[in-house]
């Protein structure tokens, strides 16, 4: 017998599943994983408020898409008002701070709420915003923090829909306002950029800043991975001689160093491993790929990986003002030193194409769900604007799946 859970619990759990493999999307200016915040909230709301549950008609695909795009726009705009990636540098889990606004406004749009109730929902969502980046080292709660944003934004929209009054002018209020409080200690002048929330609205689309990951690791590690991939393509035989490697140095921007350049120590959880430039890069050197299987519990204690991690240092300098630019320098015993530089990772420049994303989806679900179900999900997603009832897609997503890393 299938047992349903509440929409708030569903939003939290489904978001955590999306974040769990570090293979989801991210925003290149204001770091947040939008799909793990917006989609679980929208799907839970659509299912909970479908006909027979207090709603007169089903949510169609076009309405769902419009609500989804609303969330994609709002989250990064709120993030840019706090200097985007600078929030990560300061130690905030930025997506969990920017995210409640995104999920709340997306659900409000799907509910077709008036402006005053959207303002209430945003106020309720913002007072629940938080996320500490210290969760990245070993805590499983790191996977959940975008889920808190999904759940809290959905909760805010439901409350506002039912006439609960939220904080008015929550972004701009000088005493206790969202930007005032999260801007404290930013070291920036001004402490926050209120105008960024509406700057070039309808002209500059933040949706275009959404990137899709090709590797199962934190986005700041992707340049490091690509430096290694570049060297492996150019010097395949030398890069296989692991025993001859004497030292590895990765140079990167300050934000990348603070987020992933910390010294990884054994033992390490899967969460910590996927957040560490040195560990992720060692995995690429040994396995030639960084996918979920590399972070199974039985893979986290491999001596060949840890020997490379222990030879690795991560540093920054003024040369690396470009936040993406990274350089790998690998020294060998009795062999030439190899140097690889990448100015931006794959997924940023070049961005993954629609075909790349479809290929990624098919590769990830192969053996996890059946081909017939996969094809039907593809058909619905690629024709979403013509779907009469979005819960049809939700029903397809519910079902037994095999463990992808078993």
Residues 68-117: tens digit of each pLDDT? 999 999 999 999 999 999 999 999 999 999 999 999 999 999 999 999 99
* Alpha helices per DSSP H over 81-136: 86-90, 94-111, 115-126
- Reading across the β-sheet that carries 335-342, which strands appear in turn? 312-315, 245-251, 326-332, 335-342
Residue of higher predicted confidence among 3 and 318: 318
CA atoms within 13 A on the CB side of 92: 25
- What is 219-342's CATH topology? 60s Ribosomal Protein L30; Chain: A; (3.30.1330)
Residue of higher predicted confidence among 51 and 128: 128
Is a pLDDT exceeding 90 seen at residue 406? no
Give yes or no for a contact between 131 and 96, defined as CB atoms under 8 angstroms apart: yes
Query: Exposed, middle or buried by CB within 10 Å (0-12, 13-18, 19+), for 217?
Result: buried
Residue (of 372, 323, 363) closest to 344 by Cα position = 323
Share of the chain above pLDDT 90, in %: 90
List of E strands, 323-378: 326-332, 335-342
Is a pLDDT exceeding 70 seen at residue 29? yes
3-state secondary structure of 344: coil
CA distance linking residue 383 with residue 374, whole number of Å: 14
Q: What CATH number does domain 7-212 carry, 3.30.379.10, 1.10.4100.10, 3.30.9.100, 3.20.20.60?
A: 1.10.4100.10
Instruction: For residue 15, name the pLDDT band (cuts at 50, 70, 90).
Output: very high
CB atoms within 10 A of CB 398: 11
The ranges assigned to domains in the chain are: 7-212, 219-342
CB atoms within 10 A of CB 402: 10
Query: What is the reported pLDDT for 2?
Result: 66
Query: What is the reported pLDDT for 322?
Result: 80
Virtual CA dihedral for 382, 387, 391, 393, nearest 10 degrees? -20
Instruction: Please list, in sequence order, all residues whose beta carbon lies within 8 angstroms of the beta carbon of residue 143, skipping any fewer than 6 positions away.
Output: 16, 19, 20, 271
pLDDT digits (tens, 9 = 90+) for 142-174: 999 999 999 999 999 999 999 999 999 999 999
Query: What is the reported pLDDT for 255?
Result: 87
Is a pLDDT exceeding 60 seen at residue 52? no
pLDDT digits (tens, 9 = 90+) for 336-381: 999 999 999 999 999 999 999 999 999 999 999 999 999 999 999 9
Q: pTM to 2 decimals?
A: 0.93
Is a pLDDT exceeding 90 seen at residue 50? no
Query: What is the reported pLDDT for 56?
Result: 66
3-state secondary structure of 276: coil
3-state secondary structure of 56: coil
Instruction: For residue 256, name the pLDDT band (cuts at 50, 70, 90).
Output: very high
CA distance linking residue 110 with residue 184, whole number of Å: 33
Burial 196-216, CB ≥16 within 10 A → b, else e: bbeeeeeeeebeebbbbbbbb
pLDDT digits (tens, 9 = 90+) for 328-348: 999 999 999 999 999 999 999
CA distance linking residue 214 with residue 293, whole number of Å: 14
Query: What is the reported pLDDT for 55?
Result: 56
Is a pLDDT exceeding 70 seen at residue 277? yes
Name the residue with tokens 């080292």. Answer: 137
CA dist list (Å): 107 to 64, 124, 318, 358: 9, 13, 43, 26
Q: What is the mean pLDDT of the chain?
A: 94
Is a pLDDT exceeding 90 seen at residue 4? no
Our separate counts of H helices and E strands in the chain read 17, 6
Query: What is the reported pLDDT for 212?
Result: 95
In sequence order, the β-bridge partners of residue 207 are none
Instruction: For residue 53, name the pLDDT band (cuts at 50, 70, 90).
Output: low
CA distance linking residue 307 with residue 284, whole number of Å: 14
């Amino acid at each position: 017998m299938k047992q349903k859970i509440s929409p708030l619990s569903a939003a939290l759990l489904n978001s955590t599943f999306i974040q769990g493999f570090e293979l989801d999307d991210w925003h290149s200016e204001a770091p947040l994983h939008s799909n793990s915040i917006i989609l679980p909230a929208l799907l839970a709301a659509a299912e909970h408020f479908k006909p027979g549950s207090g709603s007169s008609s089903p949510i169609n695909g076009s309405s769902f898409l419009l609500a989804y795009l609303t969330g994609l726009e709002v989250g990064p705009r709120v993030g840019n008002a706090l200097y985007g990636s600078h929030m990560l540098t300061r130690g905030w889990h930025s997506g969990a701070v920017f995210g409640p606004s995104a999920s709340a406004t997306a659900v409000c749009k799907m509910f077709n709420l008036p402006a005053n109730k959207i303002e209430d929902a945003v106020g309720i969502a913002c007072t629940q915003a938080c996320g500490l980046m210290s969760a990245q080292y070993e805590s499983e709660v790191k996977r959940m923090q975008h889920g808190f944003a999904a759940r809290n934004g959905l909760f805010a929209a439901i409350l506002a829909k039912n006439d609960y009054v939220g904080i008015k002018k929550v972004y701009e209020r000088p005493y206790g306002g969202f930007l005032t409080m999260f801007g404290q200690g930013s070291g920036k002048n001004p402490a926050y950029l209120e105008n960024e929330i509406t700057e070039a609205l309808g002209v500059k689309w933040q949706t275009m800043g959404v990137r899709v990951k090709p590797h199962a690791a934190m986005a700041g590690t992707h340049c490091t991975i690509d430096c290694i991939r570049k060297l492996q393509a150019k010097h395949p035989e030398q890069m296989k001689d692991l025993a001859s490697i004497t030292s590895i140095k990765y140079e990167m921007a300050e934000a990348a160093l603070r987020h992933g350049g910390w010294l990884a120590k054994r033992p390490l959880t899967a969460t910590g491993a996927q957040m560490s430039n040195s560990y992720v890069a060692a995995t690429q050197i040994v396995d030639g790929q960084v996918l979920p299987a590399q972070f199974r519990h039985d893979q986290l204690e491999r001596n060949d990986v840890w020997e490379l991690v222990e030879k690795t240092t991560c540093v920054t300098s003024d040369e690396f003002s470009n936040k993406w630019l990274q350089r790998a320098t690998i020294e060998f015993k009795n062999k030439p030193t190899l140097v690889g530089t990448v100015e931006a990772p794959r997924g940023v420049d070049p961005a993954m194409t629609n075909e790349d994303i479809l290929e990624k989806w098919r590769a990830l679900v192969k053996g996890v769900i059946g081909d017939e179900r996969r094809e039907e999900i593809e058909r619905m997603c690629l024709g979403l604007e013509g779907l009469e009832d979005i819960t049809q897609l939700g029903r397809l997503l519910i079902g037994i799946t095999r463990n992808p890393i078993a």
